[in-house]
Amino acid sequence: MRSLFRIRNAIFLHDLLMVPVAWFGAYWLRFNLGEIPSEFLSAALSYLPLVMVVQVAVFRFYSLYRGVWRFSSLPDLVRISKAILIGIFFIAVTLFLYNRLHGVPRAVIPLYVFLLLLLLSIPRFLYRFWKDEYLHQRTGKRALIVGAGSAGEMLARDLLGKGDSGYVPVAFVDDDVKKRRREIRGIRVLGTIDDIPAVIEQLQIEILLIAIPSATDSEMRRIIEICESCNIPFQTLPSVRELLSGQVSRGSLRAVSIEDILGRDPVRLDWKAIRESLRDQCILVTGGGGSIGSELCRQLAEVQPRQLLILDQSEFNLYRIDAQLARRHPEIDHVALLADVTDRTAVRRVIRKFRPDVIFHAAAYKHVPLLENQVREAVHNNVIGTSIVAEEAIAAGIARFVLISTDKAVNPTNVMGATKRAAEILCQNLNDPKGTRFITVRFGNVLDSAGSVVPLFREQIRAGGPVTVTHPEITRYFMTIPEACQLIMQAEAVGDGGEVFVLDMGEPIKISYLARQMILLSGKQPGQDVEIEYIGLRPGEKLFEELFHEQEQLQSTGYEKLLLARARRYDKSAWAEQIEALARACQDTDDSAPLAILQKLVPEFKH
């Protein structure tokens, strides 16, 4: 900003000095480059303050000194000409009314206009010529920076300061009208984001650099769609969460990922409340090796718990998160526990030995089509497993229990959703304000989680296609894994017990749009390089997911993206009997009995 201020002052002083040079130069030319008679010289001197005041006022009106020399062109010449002509008009009219232009030869006026036009325009075009030559001498791709904010300015500074950066920034675009035609680091803001195609053609741009870390997901989608239509490479800076250090450089640039398009809205959390709730606590995460569980462990390590217990039945997943935490947070006391949540003996031993203050229950089977034909396994793990962990938590006097649920639990049409809804009701019924407080957090799909659509599409694209989409109109809610985990911790910090928190997932995204974007981001064209094939809905799938039931009235919590669904009440004693019956049914190999009881437990379940 200081550099820009100095540039504007220098341009202002240049234009200011050129006014008296042109004024006296006009007199000098009028008298054939000889001595100016004293009478006319005296008049010229006395009129000079008026000439300068009027001319500078008009210059300011036409914005002639805003640091735009680098891109001086015909429109700038027209603007300079207008400023000079309007200025001399007011000067001539004022002097005529004052003393009939006494002491001002008639030839002085056109000579002044001619001289001032040359003195203001020639330095600007010479500077542009020199700057263009300088840029042509630099090696690298001609880059257009999208975003003229602080991140864009820091990126331009880094690229200009390194001769071997590989990129030569030649212009900015930004939707902020206040930045229009301004100059940053000697590089002009040429237009809006919608002007990108025209700027690319005009300046022969070879790469686009997106420098808007604060862009929302909808804004980022719009930018990416425009960039994709231009058929040249583009890269982006990370989101705000990834740039907390405030350092932006060439090394920060990376290829645009699907997370940039579908999950960029930054979440503003009450970290003070989260730390007060979880710091110096012993925390148990079941399913701690899974996509959500492992990221939750990484996030929890940041708030410095007294001890972090990671329980999972997958040996490899448990080993992986254990090694990551040991490397990233050697100061955190963490324990990897190989166990199954349906093994009551193992769960009881862990809880009684370590006495956790908080349990985050993320262990669950979640693959919808796979579970449709394996009802017993889904019910046993998702319902009975939750019941075992919850009952052992109550028996040990654990203070808080957080169940991680899914949008598929709302009006479920599949076994997985029904089991998660049953787990939600179970936790609501077990909640005791004077004992163990149960909190449920419900959200939709998380990007790039194991078994989700994103890694599937990525693998299909890598194989050359086709990318399989079940239905052209199918939509899903999406959120990044870190964002989901942070909101889970926020819900734990503010929940009193018995609540069902719903994460605001924004607008649902068409899966066909997701497939198309992933193909484009891989550098290929949908329908040409990689086909999109529609294969029909799979068993248990819905076209549209819902985040809350019609009887659950959503309420604000005062926290961004965290909503509260009014819980529906159930007969606790009847429900407890049905859970016992479900546990007995799971001892058999037949799926029909568990399925029948599950339908009684969740009346809205339409299989």
pLDDT digits (tens, 9 = 90+) for 400-443: 999 999 888 888 889 999 999 999 999 988 998 889 999 999 88
pLDDT digits (tens, 9 = 90+) for 105-144: 878 888 888 887 787 777 776 766 665 555 555 567 888 8
User: How much of the chain is in helix, strand and coil states, percent to nearest 5?
Assistant: 50, 15, 35
* Per-residue pLDDT, 238: 64
Q: With 0.85 as the threshold, say if the pTM is over it.
A: no
* Per-residue pLDDT, 30: 81
pLDDT digits (tens, 9 = 90+) for 220-253: 888 888 888 888 888 887 654 444 444 444 455 6
- Specify the residue for token string 């009847």: 574
Q: For each of the domains in the chain, give its residue range(s) and CATH number, in order of start.
A: 2-129 (no CATH), 138-262 (3.40.50.720), 357-601 (3.40.50.720)
Residue 8 in this model has a pLDDT that exceeds 70: no
Centre a 10 Å sphere on the Cβ of residue 362 and count the other Cβ atoms it contains. Answer: 26
Three-point CA angle 354, 359, 363, nearest 5°: 110
Q: Which DSSP string corresponds to 46-85?
A: HHHHHHHHHHHHHHHHTT--SS-GGG--HHHHHHHHHHHH
CB 284 within 8 A of CB 335: no
Average pLDDT for 472-500: 84
CB 270 within 8 A of CB 303: no
CB 211 within 8 A of CB 151: yes
* C-alpha span between 402 and 440 (Å, rounded): 6
* Per-residue pLDDT, 128: 61
Cis bond leading into 238, ω under 30°?
no
The pLDDT mean for the chain works out to 80
* Per-residue pLDDT, 357: 95
**Token pair listed for 361:** 């229950």
* Per-residue pLDDT, 552: 61
Q: Which residues does residue 469 pair with via DSSP β-bridges, in sequence order?
A: 534
Three-point CA angle 14, 50, 23, nearest 5°: 55
**Sequence-distant (≥ 6) Cβ neighbours of residue 454 within 8 angstroms:** 258, 447, 448, 514, 518
Three-state SS for 166-232 is CEEEEEEECCCHHHCCCEECCEEEEECHHHHHHHHHHHCCCEEEECCCCCCHHHHHHHHHHHHHCCC
* Per-residue pLDDT, 4: 44
pLDDT digits (tens, 9 = 90+) for 249-306: 445 566 666 666 665 555 667 778 888 889 899 999 999 999 899 999 999 998 899 9
Average pLDDT for 567-580: 76
Residues taking part in catalysis: 408
Quick one: which of 20, 29, 124, 30 has its CA closest to 70?
A: 124
